[in-house]
Structure 1
Amino acid sequence: MSPKHHRTTTRVAVLGAVALLLLTGGAAASTATAVDSPRPAREVALTGTAMIDRPKGDEITFTFDAHLPAADRTDPGKARGTIRFSHYIEEAHWGGAGEAKVDCLMTGGRVATVSAVVTKADGDLKDTVGKRVGLTVDDRGRQDGFGYSWSMVGLPSSLPDDMPKCVSGAPFEKTRPGSGTFHVSAMDQRPWK
């Protein structure tokens, strides 16, 4: 092999190695960027069905289907969905069921606060129609924490007519084991981040 041919072969090999390094390095950088880039934002949500843990004969069930699109995460008042509820006290022959339209949803970690205006109700709960109620869920897994805005006044019908959105009580009650579970899908909702 002539010296000239050897130099040409060496240059080609070196240039090929440099090109390979650049290509694989670029691919690695490209992969790193794809991995490091934020995942598409999911919605804020509170979903699921469970009963509140009360003595037998005092049966309270809530079903949440509340959602806030990722694009609206800094405006919790754009939340939409439905809350269904029922409360029956066997010994007192008291009870009723109803539905409320979601108008606010805020989350922080595994805790969600939602408010909704009652659109229909029957039985002893029919006087809650038109009232805004607030509920808080602490998604703990098997036995979730639960709170509500009427805890200090007794019944939702005793809430003020000008109850603000997303106002509720601390989760001082728990869900009944085995009755279902609530699920909080959280997202950073801070408008100043």
Structure 2
Amino acid sequence: MKPVMKRRTKIVAMSAATALLILTGAAGAAVASGSGAHAPQREVTAQREAAALTGTARLYRSAGDVITFSFDAHLAAKDTMDPRRATGTFRFSHYLHGRGAWAEAEVDCLVTGGEVAVVSGVITASDLPGARGKRVGVTVHDLGRHDRLGYSWAGVGSPTDTKDLPPCVSSAPFEKVKQGTGDFKVVPWRPEL
């Protein structure tokens, strides 16, 4: 056999062996991950959710009040045109000199625009008498380290005094977040108008 032919034969043989190793490795990885030839293929790209409000922060009060708000509210991409299909929870508490209360609400509406979010929910758990079953709304302005917040009971004094509040209603974000505590994140809503 000519030397050129031997070299070509070796290159072809090595290429075939390398391809076989790659295919064998890929098949082994597929078996190890639980997918096989008959397993359905998963979608590779994840779809962006329609809107979201997440994070926790403490509000600033010169008197020393300890006021905390936490959010985990989401609107799925498939529900882009219906903000009342939002899911999740939010929690808030207010204490001064050891006295106060906390509440947790189940999200029933979420609307966001740019860096601002309005979320509402019905209180499902609380140690504040008369709060369970009341709808409350909160507004967040995501300004990085200088987030702001407002709430539906700003004009009435207590979540228990909010009567017949519609979904996704709150006040302007007039409160300041205490420096170093804010990490609110707003995913802007982009409805198909």
Measured against the shorter chain, the TM-score band is 0.7 to 0.9
Distance 1:153 1:68 in 2: 29
- The one-letter code matched in structure 2 to 1:94 is R
Residue 43 (1) aligns with residue 50 (2): yes
Counterpart check, 1:71 vs 2:78: yes
- 1:50 maps to amino acid: A
4+ aligned runs moved over 4 Å, structure 1: none
Deviations 1:146-167 (A, max 9, x none): 111111101111110x210000
Match of 1:95 in 2: 100
Q: Hey, what does 2:39 align to over in structure 1?
A: none
Extract unaligned runs of 5+ from structure 1: 1-38
Corresponding position of 1:171? 173
Cα shift at 1:56: 4.8
Give TM-score, length-normalised by structure 2: 0.73
Counterpart mapping for 1:110-125 below 5 A: 110-122=115-127, 125=128
- How many residues end up aligned between the 2 structures? 148
Q: Which residue of 2 aligns with 1:11?
A: none
Cα distance in 2 for residues equivalent to 1:67 and 1:113: 12
State the shift of 1:40 in Å: 4.3
3-state SS in 1 of match to 2:130:
helix
Matches within 5 A, 1:14-29: none
Aligned to 1:7: none
SS of match in other structure, 1:128 = coil
Instruction: For residue 168 of structure 1, give the secondary structure of its aligned residue in structure 2.
Output: coil
What does residue range 146-165 of structure 1 map to in structure 2 within 5 Å?
A: 146-160=149-163, 162-165=164-167
Deviation at 1:145, TM superposition (A): 1.3
The equivalent residue for 2:87 is 80
Deviation at 1:84, TM superposition (A): 1.3
Residue identity over aligned pairs, in percent, reads: 53
- Structure 2 unmatched runs, 5+: 1-45
Structure-1-length-normalised TM-score: 0.73
Partner of 1:12: none
CA distance 1:58–1:109, change in 2 (3 Å): same
Deviation at 1:98, TM superposition (A): 2.0
Q: Could you say what the CA RMSD is over the residues aligned between the two structures, in angstroms? A: 1.5
